[in-house]
């Protein structure tokens, strides 16, 4: 597909729409070439930390849903970093009327860590115009849901949503375990004192 091309999957509310971004949410960029390198290195460090935390959760046999949610976040982060690491090496630059060629003779459009992230899932569920009486945005066009995202973004979002929804179950267990340890230690200390 050429940059900006789209086709319908289910009516007008689920489209495959090809866009590229510099790797941050909503296509934001971060300080040019060095910012992109910093972002990629930060992601690698974050992935390492998340991976280690996931390993510790699995090893200590924590709540299965907690492990699944952290796994989703980890998998999504790995997917986006793979795009960022290798996409620029594999493809030539995409264009509005140009389909990018894989493995061009002159090399890809960017070096290691400098590739763009491909987004393609678009769900414009409904669209219209804000009423004129709305402050600041009255009369402006809106579409819900406007962002275009990828499977990795979905994985991260679902993982974070599960963490937020079940945080008391996940982290309340740890507090209960800590309180149990404190009570046990207090009882043992009281018995020794007597």
4-19 pLDDT, tens per residue?
899 999 988 899 999 8
Residue 5 catalytic? no
Residue 186: its pLDDT value, please? 55
Mean pLDDT of 76-93: 89
Candidate list 5, 83, 153, 177, residue with the active-site label: 153
138-165 pLDDT, tens per residue?
889 888 888 889 999 999 999 999 999 9
Residue 83 catalytic? no
Measure CA 24 to chain center: 9
Mean pLDDT of 39-54: 91
Candidate list 5, 119, 132, 140, residue with the active-site label: 119
Phi (first) and psi of residue 148, to 5 degrees: -105, 135
């Amino acid at each position: 597909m050429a940059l900006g091309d789209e086709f319908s999957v289910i009516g007008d509310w689920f489209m495959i729409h090809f866009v590229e971004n510099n790797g941050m949410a909503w296509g934001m960029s971060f300080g040019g070439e060095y910012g992109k390198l910093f972002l990629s290195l930060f992601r690698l460090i974050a992935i390492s930390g998340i991976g280690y935390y996931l390993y510790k959760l699995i090893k200590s046999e924590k709540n299965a849903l907690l492990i699944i949610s952290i796994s989703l976040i980890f998998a999504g982060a790995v997917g986006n970093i793979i795009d960022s690491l290798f996409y620029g090496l594999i493809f030539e630059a995409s264009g509005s009327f140009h389909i990018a060629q894989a493995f061009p003779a002159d090399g890809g459009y960017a070096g290691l860590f400098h590739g763009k992230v491909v987004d393609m899932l678009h769900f414009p569920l409904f669209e219209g115009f804000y009423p004129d009486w709305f402050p600041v945005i009255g009369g402006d066009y809106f579409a819900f849901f406007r962002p275009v995202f990828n499977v990795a973004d979905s994985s991260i979002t679902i993982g974070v949503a599960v963490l937020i929804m079940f945080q008391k179950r996940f982290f309340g267990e740890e507090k209960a375990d800590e309180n149990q340890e404190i009570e046990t230690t207090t009882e043992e200390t009281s018995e020794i004192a007597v």
